[in-house]
Amino acid sequence: MAAVLGVERSICGRLWRERLDDWGLAAALAQSHGLPEIVARVLAARGVTAERVTDFLKPTLRALLPDPSQLKDMDLAAARLARAIEAGESVAVFGDYDVDGATSAALLQRFFKAAGRPLRLYIPDRMKEGYGPNAPALRRLKEEGVSLVVTVDCGITAYGPLADAAAIGLDVIVVDHHVAEPELPRAVAVVNPNRLDESGALRQLAAVGVTFL
C-alpha cells in the first residue's frame, strides 16, 4: 500500500497499490524509441512491448482493424466485387431504410465513386414493399442491366427472393448483421458476423461496420 499525494484510499474506499515498474523494459523502450523516461515507464507498466510502441503512440486504422478475411465469405464477396468493377458490370446496392442501412449504402457509394464506377441505389418503399429484398424489385434491377446486387443491413432471411434472383442469373452478395438461421439464403457470398458458423468475435458489428471491413 502506498499513499498518492498523501492519500491512501480512493473516494470509493479502495486501497491504492503501487504498480511495480519493469525497469528493464522501460529502459529498453526509452533507448530504442528515444522516449522520455516517464513515458517509457508508463508504457512498460501497461505491458506495451517494443514491437507495439509505434502502434500504441501513433495508432493507425490499419493496425487497429480486425482482419476482414476472418469473416466467412468475405474473400468471396471482395473477389466478386473486384471482378464486377474491373469488367464494368452494372452493380446495385439494395439497402434498408434505417440509419444502419443508409450509412452502409453510403459507404458503398463512396467506394464505387473512388473506383470511378457508378452504383445503382435501391431503397425499398417501406409501406409498399416491406423490409428486405423482394422478387419484383430484383427482377426490375435485372431488367435494367444490373448483374450484381449487394444487400446491406438485410437479406439474411430473404430465401425466396434470393432464390428467384439466382434463377434469373442475378448475382447477390448479402452483407448483414442480423442473427442468421441455420439455413443461409442462396447467394454468391453471405457476409454476416452473426452467422451460426461464425466465431462471434465480431458479433457486435452493425451492418455499416461489416460494410466498412
pLDDT, residue 3, reads 52
The pLDDT of residue 1 is 47
Buried b or exposed e, range 190-200, using 16+ CB within 10 angstroms = bbbbbbeebee
Blockwise average pLDDT, block size 10, the chain, 213 residues: 64 75 80 87 85 86 86 97 97 94 96 96 86 93 97 96 97 96 96 94 93 92
Check whether residue 11 and residue 83 sit in a common domain.
Answer: no
205 and 124 in a common domain: yes
- Could you identify the residue written with the cell 501497461? 46
pLDDT for 189 equals: 98
Evaluate if pTM is beyond 0.85. Answer: no
Give, in degrees to the nearest 5, the angle at Cα 16 between 14 and 18.
155
Spatial separation of the C-alpha atoms in residues 150 and 200, rounded to whole Å: 23
Q: Report whether 112 contacts 118 (CB < 8 A).
A: yes
Provide the domain limits for residue 5: 1-59
**Are 41 and 10 in the same domain?**
yes
- Judge if 55 and 79 occupy the same domain: no
96 and 147 both lie in a single domain: yes
Q: Could you give the angle at the alpha carbon of 105 between the alpha carbons of 101 and 106, nearest 5°? A: 115
User: Are residues 90 and 8 part of one domain?
Assistant: no
* In a shared domain, residues 102 and 186: yes
Assess whether 44 and 88 both reside in one domain.
Answer: no
Q: What's the N-to-C CA distance of the chain in angstroms?
A: 46
SS3 of 39, please? helix
pLDDT at 60 (0 to 100): 86
Residue 5, pLDDT score: 63
* Number of separate domains in the chain: 2
pLDDT at 115: 94
CB-based contact 172:187 (threshold 8 Å): yes
Please check whether residues 127 and 98 belong to one and the same domain.
Answer: yes
Residue 126 is part of a domain; what is its CATH number? 3.90.1640.30
